[in-house]
Amino acid sequence: MDDQRFGAAIRQIRIRRRWRQSDLAQHAGVSQSTVSRAERGHLDSLSIETIRRIATTLDVRVDIVARWRAGDLDRLLNARHSALHNEVAAMFRELPAWILAPEVSFSIFGERGVIDIVAWHPGRRALLIIELKTDVSDVNELVGTFDRKRRLARQIAKERGWEAATVSSWVIVAGGRTNRGRLAAHKAVLRAAFPVGGPTIRAWLRDPRGSVSAMSTWPNMRTGTGMAGLSPVRRVTRPSATPKSTVAVPG
C-alpha cells in the first residue's frame, strides 16, 4: 500500500467511526495537523511511532515491508537464518545425550506455527524449544509468539513420544549493533520474559535440571554455511576418542 492509499484508508475509517480529525488526534495523543498530514499521505514527515499510534487508535495494523533492489531479500534473510541454525546445531555436537529436531511444525486446536529447534534430553526428560532470530523487529510479537510455542511444547513433544518433566525455552539472537540496540531498548520487558542469560544456559545445558527461560546473543555468525549438517531428527553424540571439551555458548 502506498502512502496516499494509506492516508485515504485512515480517513475513511475515521469517518466511519464518526470522528473528527481532532477526535482521532486526542485519542492518539498527537496534534490535529499530524492527523491531517497522515490522511493526505504525507508520511515522510512523520515518524513510524506516530504512524503506528494513529493506526492503532483505529484498530489498524501497520506492517513494514522491506524491499531490496539489489536482489531477493527473502533469500538473503533465509541464508542468515540457515547459517545461525547450522552453528547452533554444531554447538550441540559437543553436548552428549541431546536429541535435536529442527523446523518442527505444529497444528494444535487451530494454533499453527514452526519451532526452529526442539531439543530433548532423555536422561532428565528435559524439553528445550529454541527460537532463532536474525533480526529483532517487534519485541512484543517475539515474546507473545514464543510464549504460545512454549505453552504448546508439551503436546508437540508428546506427539514424538517425549514425555517432558520440564519445559525450557531459549531465544538466540544473531549479534550485531542493530539487534543489540533493540534488545537494550526493551531490556525490562525481555528480562522479565527471559531472565536467564548466556552463562546460566551454558551450565544448564550440561545438566538440565529444572526449567529455564533464556535469551542470549550469538556473535560472529558466518553466513552461507547452510544446514547440510542438520538432519530431520538425530542424536548428537561425541566420538569416544575425542577428549572432553568446553562448550562455548555465546552470551
Q: In this predicted model, what pLDDT tens digit does every residue of 131-177 receive, in sequence order?
A: 999 988 788 888 888 888 999 999 999 999 999 999 999 999 998 88
In this prediction the pTM is: 0.63
Which of 79-93, 106-120, 211-225 is predicted least confidently? 211-225
Taken in order 51, 55, 57, 61, is the CA torsion positive or negative? negative
Each residue's pLDDT tens digit, 167-217: 999 999 998 888 888 899 899 999 999 999 888 998 999 999 999 999 999
- What is the model's pLDDT at position 13? 95
Please determine, for residue 110, whether its predicted confidence score (pLDDT) is greater than 90: no
Q: Which domains does the chain have, with CATH numbers?
A: 3-57 (1.10.260.40), 73-235 (3.40.1350)
Please determine, for residue 92, whether its predicted confidence score (pLDDT) is greater than 90: yes
Burial of 215 (0-12, 13-18, 19+ CB in 10 A): buried
Tell me the three cell numbers of residue 163.
Answer: 514425555
Q: For residues 71-77, give the mean pLDDT.
A: 62
Please determine, for residue 228, whether its predicted confidence score (pLDDT) is greater than 50: no
Q: How far apart are CA 101 and CA 128, in angstroms?
A: 11
Q: Confidence band (pLDDT; 50, 70, 90) for 112?
A: confident
- Nearest alpha-carbon partner for 117 in 85, 144, 141: 85
Q: For residues 104-131, give the mean pLDDT.
A: 92
Q: How far apart are CA 131 and CA 102, in angstroms?
A: 11
Share of the chain above pLDDT 90, in %: 55
Residue 125's identity, in one-letter code, is: R
Q: How far apart are CA 213 and CA 193, in angstroms?
A: 7
Q: How far apart are CA 178 and CA 36, in angstroms?
A: 32
Q: 93 with 122: CB under 8 angstroms?
A: no
DSSP secondary structure letters along 42-103: -GGGS-HHHHHHHHHHTT---------TTS-HHHHHHHHHHHHHHHHHHHHTTSTT-EEEEE
- What is the model's pLDDT at position 63? 79
Q: For residues 82-86, give the mean pLDDT.
A: 90
The backbone region for 115, taken as left when phi is positive above 0, alpha when psi lies in -120 to 50, beta otherwise, is beta
Residue 141 CB partners (closer than 8 Å, separation 6+): none
- What is the model's pLDDT at position 73? 63
Q: Confidence band (pLDDT; 50, 70, 90) for 236?
A: very low
